[in-house]
Amino acid sequence: MKPDFTLNPIGVVESKLVKVKDAPCQGSLGAGEAWIAINQNVIDGIKDVRVGDNIIVLTWLHLGDRSVLSVHPQDNKNNPLTSVFATRSADRPNPIGLHPVTVLEVSGNKIKVKPLEAIDGTPVVDIKPVI
**CATH code of 18's domain:** 2.40.30.70
As for how many domains the chain has, the answer is 1
Domain holding 33, by residue range, is: 11-64+97-129
Does residue 83 lie in a domain region?
Answer: no
Does residue 18 lie in a domain region?
Answer: yes
**pTM of the entire structure?**
0.90
Please give the distance of CA 54 from its chain centroid, rounded to a whole number: 14
111-125: average pLDDT: 96
Does residue 51 lie in a domain region?
Answer: yes
69-79: average pLDDT: 91
Cα separation of the two ends of the chain? 34
C-alpha–C-alpha distance, residues 54 and 129, integer Å: 6
Q: Do residues 117 and 24 touch, judged by C-beta distance below 8 A?
A: yes
Does residue 37 lie in a domain region?
Answer: yes
- Percent of the chain predicted with pLDDT > 70: 94
pLDDT at 39: 98
Does residue 71 lie in a domain region?
Answer: no
Encode pLDDT of 21-65 as tens digits.
776 666 666 678 999 999 999 999 999 999 999 999 999 999 999
Q: Which candidate, 60, 38, 33, places its Cα nearest to that of 48?
A: 38
pLDDT at 16: 92
